[in-house]
Amino acid sequence: MNGNELKNLLRLVRESALGVEEAADLIRESSYKNLGFARIDNQRGQRLGRPEVLFCQGKTAGQVRDIVNYMLTRGTNILATRATREIFQEVSKVCLDAEYNEAAATITVKRINVDVPDGYIAVVTAGTSDIPVAEEAAVTAEFLGNRVERIIDVGVAGIHRLFDTIETIRSARVVIVVAGMEGALPSVVGGLVDKPVIAVPTSVGYGASFGGVAALLAMLNSCSGGVAVVNIDNGFGAGCVASAINRLK
């Protein structure tokens, strides 16, 4: 609840158009809404410039549906990550215009337009197997109002493929590089561009990749100075950081 909304609320109480208890409930709900199994943060948009994002993994389809149903009353855009098709079908019962991205496992609902900055974000993958994590990053960045260029399957096993797209990567304001296996691609890209590189290790790989730990450690030990690293398979986190960089004035 912003300052003008609070003033209007107090004016209604003074004019006896709204009861004190009703006003108190509205003020409490302006902070967060308690659904019993979840507390929805209604002030996140004011604090961070983006609404609360719904992480579906571990939640039932009914819980996700009820959270989305409440968020719809706030008139905000909605992003849900790690969503199965079963969850999407349940959400569709309360929101007919919800959209499902199979590759990213995301659900999006658009209610308000977001200003799009001039710069764009390049999302680059080492392999086709990295697409799900890369697509989560791309969908997140687009949800937050950014243009995204996707560059797929340009990993170090055939490094010549990268050079055909290097100008598109160099022209981006920030670059997300998604890689599994040994996680070498972010270091290569970091040595070729003068833009921030956000490295995303994926859990793609054989046994010695340890579910993405090998790629994570390789990225953390990168000798390319402009490379920062997020958690394993954390496309959402990479999309958020890239958006914050791209939207800097």
pLDDT exceeds cutoff 60 at 91: yes
Distance from C-alpha of 168 to C-alpha of 121, rounded to nearest angstrom: 10
Per-residue pLDDT at 227: 96
Per-residue pLDDT at 237: 96
Average confidence score pLDDT of the chain: 90
Q: What is the mean pLDDT of residues 126-155?
A: 96
Q: Which residue has the higher pLDDT, 194 or 112?
A: 194
pLDDT exceeds cutoff 70 at 174: yes
pLDDT digits (tens, 9 = 90+) for 94-108: 999 999 999 999 999
Task: Name the DSSP class of 55.
Answer: E
Q: What is the CATH number of domain 120-246?
A: 3.40.50.1970
Residue 134 CA from chain centroid, whole number: 11
Per-residue pLDDT at 24: 74
pLDDT digits (tens, 9 = 90+) for 205-222: 999 999 999 999 999 999
100: phi then psi, degrees, rounded to nearest 5:
-115, 130
Indicate where the chain has its CATH 3.40.50.1970 domain(s).
120-246
The answer to whether 230 touches 199, Cβ cutoff 8 Å, is yes
Per-residue pLDDT at 116: 87
Q: Is the dihedral of CA 159, 165, 166, 169 positive or negative?
A: negative
Where do runs of H (alpha helix) occur along 104-248?
A: 131-143, 160-163, 166-171, 185-190, 213-220, 235-246
pLDDT digits (tens, 9 = 90+) for 13-71: 788 887 887 777 666 666 677 778 887 777 676 677 777 888 999 999 999 999 999 88
The answer to whether 240 touches 50, Cβ cutoff 8 Å, is yes
Q: What is the mean pLDDT of residues 112-121?
A: 89
Distances from the Cα of 179 to the Cα of 33, 73, 153, angstroms? 38, 39, 10
* Residue 8 pLDDT level (bands cut at 50, 70, 90): confident
Contacts of 221 (CB under 8 A, 6+ apart): none
Phi-psi region of 177 (alpha: psi -120 to 50; beta: other; left: phi over 0): beta
Listed residue (164, 160, 185) closest to 175, CA to CA? 185
Per-residue pLDDT at 160: 94
Q: What is the mean pLDDT of residues 88-98?
A: 94
pLDDT exceeds cutoff 80 at 232: yes
Per-residue pLDDT at 46: 67
Q: Which residue has the higher pLDDT, 48 or 2?
A: 48
